Amino acid sequence: QKEVEQDPGPLSVPEGAIVSLNCTYSNSAFQYFMWYRQYSRKGPELLMYTYSSGNKEDGRFTAQVDKSSKYISLFIRDSQPSDSATYLCAGGETSYDKVIFGPGTSLSVIP
Amino acid sequence: DGGITQSPKYLFRKEGQNVTLSCEQNLNHDAMYWYRQDPGQGLRLIYYSQIVNDFQKGDIAEGYSVSREKKESFPLTVTSAQKNPTAFYLCASSIMYRHNEQFFGPGTRLTVL
C-alpha cells in the first residue's frame, strides 16, 4: 500500500463548479498535510498546508484534514480554467521529516 | 526575483553517459532537495541536504550523486549506473527543518536515447 494515494483522474468540471479533490494516507503519525498545484511541464507550487486535523481556507481554496479516517480534501470554489492542473497532496510526520507525495489528480476546468 | 532555477529544461543523454543537472536558488534557504517524477507516481526523494558539505540519501539514491559546496547550489549527477534515468527531475529548497514548505524549481526533463 502506498503511503499517500490519490485518484489520478482526469477530473473534468465546468467553469464555476465546486471541485473536491481527495487523498488518503496510511501513516497515522502524519501531522502536516500539504497541497501542491502543478501545471503541465512545470514544478509544483505550494498551495496550502495544514497542521493536524481541521479546515484551512485561503480564498477559493479550502483544505480539510480528517485524521480519524486518514482523509485529506481540497475544495475549490468557483473553479476557473486557470485551475486546470495536477494537484498533489502530501504528508509528513514533523516539519523536519521527509514529505511523502501522492501521485496527483489531474483537473480540467472547461470554460 | 527570488527563486529556484534549473538547467537545462530538456536534456538528452546516450546510454552509458553521466550527466549533471543544475539547481541554483537565491532564496537563502539552507535545505535543498532532489526529486524524480514519473507518470502515475508521486515525487520520490533522491537526495537532500540541510547544510553545505552535508547531504543524505533519499529513497532512490542508487545511480545518482550530489554535491553541496555552496549554499545556493545543489547539482545532481545521473550516472550510467542508474538503470532507468528517463524522468522529470525537480529540485526544491526550504528553510532548515521546514520540509513541509518546499519551493520547487521548474524541472529538467531527462531523456535517455
Residues of chain A contacting B, Cβ within 8 Å:
2, 4, 8, 32, 34, 36, 41-46, 49, 88, 90, 92, 95-104
The per-residue pLDDT for A54 is: 84
The per-residue pLDDT for B98 is: 83
Contacts of A96 in chain B (CB under 8 A): 97-99
Instruction: Choose from B99, B104, B111 for mutation: most chain A CBs within 10 A.
Output: B99
CA distance B89 to chain A (A): 9
The minimal CB distance from A95 to the residues B35, B41, B100 is found for: B100
The per-residue pLDDT for B96 is: 84
Q: Do B101 and A49 touch (CB under 8 A)?
A: yes
- Report pLDDT digits (tens) over B29-61: 999 999 999 988 889 999 999 999 999 999 999
Segment B93-110 shows an average pLDDT of: 92
**What number of C-beta contacts closer than 8 Å exist between A and B?**
60
Mean pLDDT of chain B: 94
The per-residue pLDDT for A97 is: 83
Contacts of B110 in chain A (CB under 8 A): none
The per-residue pLDDT for B1 is: 60
For chain A, list residues with pLDDT below 50. Answer: none
End-to-end CA distance of chain B, in Å?
36
Instruction: Choose from A48, A72, A99 for mutation: most chain B CBs within 10 A.
Output: A99
Segment B6-19 shows an average pLDDT of: 93
